[in-house]
Structure 1
Amino acid sequence: MPEIHQSIAQHYHERTKYDPDTLASKNQRLDWAKQPVPFKEYKIGSAFDLKPYLQESLEPLAAQQEDAQWWQRLSRLLFRSYGLTARMPSMGSAVYLRSAPSAGGLYPAEVYIVSRGTPFLPAGLYNYQCRTHSLMLYWENDVWQALQDACFWHPALEGTQLAIVVTGVFYRSAWRYEDRAYRRIFLDTGHLLGNIELASAITDYRPHLIGGFIDDAVNDLLYIDPQQEGAIAVLALADLLDIKQNLSTGCTALPSATETNYPHVPDGELLKYFHRHTQIQPGVTGKLNLPAIKQEKSLEDKYNFPFCLKIPTATTPIDWGENLFNLELTIHKRRSTRAYSGDDLTFDELKALLDFTYQPQNYIEQHLDRTPDYFDLNLIETFIAVSGVKGLESGCYYYAPKAQELRQIRFKNFRRELHFLCLGQDLGRDAAAVIFHTADLKAAIAQYGDRVYRYLHMDAGHLGQRLNLAAVNLNLGVSGIGGFFDDQVNEVLGIPIDEAVIYITTLGRPR
């Protein structure tokens, strides 16, 4: 039996760690006959074709009618968030790549649109069909009030007409990554949330992120089987061209229970058990005064190590072009790098990556959101292992985003160790810099319950996607890594032991 003080989130994290002494024994051959299809199909429904509204020009044509402009914006938002960007041959078949990255190309996330009923989109439930770039209306009825009720009457849903619901289809990722897939499902969703945030800025929307909802109610609303698929994020989609929808930000994260009394859960069942026990139950939280419990931002960075070298990182923001043209182009052409040359980056390049990822207030003049929604960035810390950055000594650094500086905590070139920590992947060895997102899991659970495990991974994935896009824009290589030797990362790099490693992003010159 697990120790009574260890919550199910802590237990799950410990159980799904990779360890060099046991990983080899866990490796199993994939059953390719059971490989899941990363698309959802509906036998009945009405399709709304979005392809005619994809325009080469970013400016709506003056001659267009209001309805065509409305459809053009929604079409571009969905395409840039999760649309197909390439078709790659694979084993006699084809693999379709999307604008948001996914571990193993498995794409566990599904995107739904809930319409309150607009002049252009009837009230009901829609699934985004990325293969055909269309919306499938599979339930034509007014369900908005049910969505509000499931989200504890979140104020962002009062004046908006559209909402996005992101779900996770568990088996798509678990087929390959087994119980550890839960981590990757939420990292992948974080990538998608990052795309939705930025694509919304391009198309004059503002997504309001809602993580606190009654899971069963949202699942029932979408008519999905909770054993196979579960709602994991709701976004009220405010139309910035409608003055009534220019809303103030609201609470994004609500706590769940902290489960400590749980039985032994066999391997292969842990993922679904954990998800079920991070849900918010009806009648427990009640109708909440959401803005009153919004997490206040800390004014100082968490770590200020004594006697460490401190290096400023403030820099000139990345120029995303007129009407964010370069940002839209970058979202479309983004790819995960497969190999690095081992050549150095410049310190100016690293500073630019950090600036776009962590300093959104520097991009107001380019019409990006100065305070995009995360669940709680106060819980996420960033460490950087530098192996090849001109003008920056090799070693491990803590990045202090509020002070905008790097604080060196280890003096060493870690290429050999990074190769080991990243499960022998050459990406770790040949990268010029490797970014680690971490969190004090025990402290986070004390604040938000076991549900915080979702929030942490989605926030880390969101940050990772901003790193992806900044790197691609600068013609650098970038690739996220969700598989690593958890405990050994802290030991090797000198990261405080309380910091659980959530995500790794490698950066370098593409080969």
Structure 2
Amino acid sequence: MPEIHESIAQHYHERTKYNPETLASKNQKLDWAKQPVPFKEYKIGSTLDLKPYLQEIPEAFANKPDAQWWQRLSRLLFRSYGLTARMPSMGSTVYLRAAPSAGGLYPAEVYIVSRGTPSLPPGLYNYQCRTHSLMHYWESDVWQALQEACFWHPSLESTQLAIIVTGVFYRSAWRYEDRAYRRIFLDTGHLLGNIELAAAITDYRPHLISGFIDEAVNDLLYIDPQQEGAIAVLPLADLLDIKQNLPIGCTALPSATETSYPQIPDGELLKYFHRHTQIQPGITGKLNLPMVKQEKSLEDKYNFPFCLKIPTSTTPIFWGENLLDLEITMHKRRSTRAYSGDDLTFDELKALLDFTYQPKNYIDQSLDSSPDYCDLNLIETFIAVCGVKGLETGCYYYAPKAQELRQIRFKNFRRQLHFLCLGQDLGRDAGAVLFHTADLKSAISQYGDRVYRYLHLDAGHLGQRLNLAAISLNLGVSGIGGFFDDQVNEVLGIPADEAVLYITTLGRPR
């Protein structure tokens, strides 16, 4: 077998690209008889009902500390991943959730690990979103095992609760095959964005840990690693307990870079890739394990001397007293199905960018000024403007540190965007289409192949902030994970080194 120089992450990315010449031949009819159920069921365990604590009136639990504690946890879980609507579909019911998911497949599962509190005994709990309850399926103390799996991360020293998010592979692979791995992590990124904001509403602060010993966390949860895998661990610091008001810690750790691998058949690539992006037991001596968050670079990556530079600073979105408007927005969020083609305003676009990329502007509204991502330095943002009043049509690079748009191509891209988004009218009729990209080779040199997870988690997290900002402004928004990868770079003039991760369309709903 000839020597392979590209890593498994690069190989996976190339193998799962959509190409207009080959996509039609790959299209297969879905086997609806094998459609996965997007809910996990347990045959044994005890159920803790969270529905009574969804009272909107705080006075209902006045002078009842235990009930107030349960109300906070109930609201956090409901606003993050709870059911928000039921829709009939092909003779059955589709349950929509607070976090968006490609194809409504919802591959993520949410677990709670309790160290042992006066209200929640130690053990493992699965969040049953269909009934808004917790299934207590393991009663022993597992906190120390979690600490060991997370390399004794400081955020686990004083906290009492942690959320663990996993991905159930087949739920997405049933429809999207090997490319589903991208969507699983984008969907989980959406969920992380919701958890971040729902935690602010309920006086928690989640601390993201995306670098951990996979096998140990999977074993701790008693999940089958062939079917489901741990994706993120989030210790929940209770902001009402001063001992848990912790400094920000390291979120991402490197894995190995795999360049020697066999021929992998279609249909097996997803699971092979996941297995080879894991951090293995006993590797601590080989890893540099910083326990503080890395400083962000001082300058934006692309600073073209020839381009027009347009400031984007603006007045922050107001989310209401006690973030009530944010909570309402999280509940009513929906992915838009069609746009009218009418223009957005530049003020609207600036507000979207401000909420998504400038969290420090929202500290006065009690939102986290520096929420956890894996490494935002790796993510770049390009925007194709087709219909924004006050902006020329063309492609722009968004520089979040300088807070400005930098125009890199002059053109109306409506026809090409329709093609790039696999013929979806959302691409054609949007006023602006935002692209998250990353230099994959450079990112792998920093974090190994595991960085592919980090990139898509962060892109999804940013995408969810865009979702909520758009809904709050009565705009339409829809994420797109299926696109012609290489052709995006060619059409928009994006550097070839930038791997396209995610597309978010923005427009006026029809």
- Matches of 1:260 and 1:361, distance apart in 2: 40
| Residues 320 and 366, structure 1, Cα contact 8 Å, conserved in 2 | yes
| Residues 172 and 183, structure 2, Cα contact 8 Å, conserved in 1 | yes
Runs of 4+ aligned residues of structure 1 deviating over 3 Å after TM superposition are 59-62, 286-294
Which structure 2 residues correspond to residues 162-201 of structure 1 after superposition, within 5 A? 162-201=161-200
Give the 3-state SS of the residue equivalent to 2:215 in structure 1. helix
- Given the alignment of the two structures, is residue 437 of structure 1 paired with residue 411 of structure 2, yes or no? no
Which structure 2 residues correspond to residues 464-475 of structure 1 after superposition, within 5 A? 464-475=463-474
Which structure 2 residues correspond to residues 297-316 of structure 1 after superposition, within 5 A? 297-316=296-315
- Matches of 2:148 and 2:291, distance apart in 1: 19
The CA deviation at 1:503 is: 0.2
The CA deviation at 1:55 is: 1.4
- Matches of 1:315 and 1:83, distance apart in 2: 32
| Residues 384 and 399, structure 1, Cα contact 8 Å, conserved in 2 | yes
- Matches of 2:63 and 2:352, distance apart in 1: 38
Q: Which deviations, in whole Å up to 9, do the C-alpha atoms of 1:440-464 show, x marking residues without a partner?
A: 0000000000000000000000000
Partner of 2:55: 55
Partner of 1:379: 378
TM-score, normalised via structure 2 length: 0.99
Q: Partner amino acid for 2:488? A: V
| Residues 86 and 98, structure 1, Cα contact 8 Å, conserved in 2 | yes
The CA deviation at 1:294 is: 3.6
The CA deviation at 1:3 is: 5.2
- Matches of 2:287 and 2:299, distance apart in 1: 29
Partner of 2:216: 217
The CA deviation at 1:295 is: 2.3
The CA deviation at 1:62 is: 6.3
- Matches of 1:81 and 1:480, distance apart in 2: 18
Partner of 2:265: 266
- Matches of 1:507 and 1:323, distance apart in 2: 27
- Matches of 1:324 and 1:289, distance apart in 2: 39
Partner of 2:87: 88
Change in 2 beyond 3 A, CA 1:287/1:444:
closer
- Given the alignment of the two structures, is residue 392 of structure 1 paired with residue 401 of structure 2, yes or no? no
Partner of 1:111: 110
- Matches of 1:3 and 1:479, distance apart in 2: 41
- Matches of 2:35 and 2:324, distance apart in 1: 37
The CA deviation at 1:224 is: 0.2
| Residues 360 and 368, structure 1, Cα contact 8 Å, conserved in 2 | yes
| Residues 209 and 236, structure 1, Cα contact 8 Å, conserved in 2 | yes
Q: Partner amino acid for 1:7? A: S
- Give structure 1 stretches of 5+ with no counterpart: none
Q: Which deviations, in whole Å up to 9, do the C-alpha atoms of 1:196-253 show, x marking residues without a partner?
A: 0000000000000001110000000000000000001000100000000000000000
Partner of 1:367: 366
Partner of 1:18: 18
Partner of 1:79: 78
Partner of 1:203: 202
Give the 3-state SS of the residue equivalent to 1:210 in structure 2. coil
Change in 2 beyond 3 A, CA 1:289/1:27:
closer
Structure 1 vs Structure 2 CA RMSD? 1.1
Q: Partner amino acid for 1:459? A: D
- Matches of 1:292 and 1:152, distance apart in 2: 10
The CA deviation at 1:5 is: 1.8
- Matches of 1:380 and 1:60, distance apart in 2: 44
Partner of 1:321: 320
Q: Partner amino acid for 2:135? A: M
Partner of 2:232: 233
- Given the alignment of the two structures, is residue 422 of structure 1 paired with residue 417 of structure 2, yes or no? no
- Matches of 1:424 and 1:351, distance apart in 2: 28
- Matches of 2:98 and 2:378, distance apart in 1: 27
Partner of 1:33: 33
Partner of 1:254: 253
Change in 2 beyond 3 A, CA 1:287/1:199:
farther
| Residues 61 and 68, structure 2, Cα contact 8 Å, conserved in 1 | no
- Matches of 1:287 and 1:241, distance apart in 2: 38
- Matches of 2:475 and 2:50, distance apart in 1: 32
The CA deviation at 1:330 is: 0.2
Change in 2 beyond 3 A, CA 1:211/1:2:
farther
Q: Partner amino acid for 1:199? A: A
| Residues 152 and 288, structure 1, Cα contact 8 Å, conserved in 2 | no
- Matches of 1:273 and 1:295, distance apart in 2: 30
Q: Partner amino acid for 2:462? A: L
Q: Which deviations, in whole Å up to 9, do the C-alpha atoms of 1:276-301 show, x marking residues without a partner?
A: 00000001124977445642210000
| Residues 19 and 486, structure 1, Cα contact 8 Å, conserved in 2 | yes
TM-score, normalised via structure 1 length: 0.99
Partner of 1:6: 6
The CA deviation at 1:306 is: 1.8
- Matches of 2:342 and 2:30, distance apart in 1: 35
Change in 2 beyond 3 A, CA 1:2/1:227:
farther
Partner of 1:45: 45
Q: Partner amino acid for 1:340? A: Y
| Residues 19 and 485, structure 1, Cα contact 8 Å, conserved in 2 | yes
Partner of 1:413: 412
Give the 3-state SS of the residue equivalent to 1:236 in structure 2. strand
- Does 280-289 or 224-233 show the bigger shift? 280-289
| Residues 439 and 497, structure 2, Cα contact 8 Å, conserved in 1 | yes
Give the 3-state SS of the residue equivalent to 1:356 in structure 2. helix
Q: Partner amino acid for 1:189? A: T
Q: Partner amino acid for 1:28? A: Q
- Given the alignment of the two structures, is residue 70 of structure 1 paired with residue 69 of structure 2, yes or no? yes
Change in 2 beyond 3 A, CA 1:370/1:83:
same
Q: Partner amino acid for 1:302? A: K
| Residues 250 and 290, structure 1, Cα contact 8 Å, conserved in 2 | no
- Matches of 1:230 and 1:420, distance apart in 2: 34
| Residues 196 and 207, structure 1, Cα contact 8 Å, conserved in 2 | yes
- Given the alignment of the two structures, is residue 498 of structure 1 paired with residue 497 of structure 2, yes or no? yes
The CA deviation at 1:63 is: 2.6
Change in 2 beyond 3 A, CA 1:180/1:3:
farther
Change in 2 beyond 3 A, CA 1:2/1:293:
farther
| Residues 80 and 332, structure 1, Cα contact 8 Å, conserved in 2 | yes
- Give structure 2 stretches of 5+ with no counterpart: none
Partner of 2:487: 488
Q: Partner amino acid for 1:12? A: Y
Change in 2 beyond 3 A, CA 1:393/1:259:
same
- Matches of 1:282 and 1:291, distance apart in 2: 18
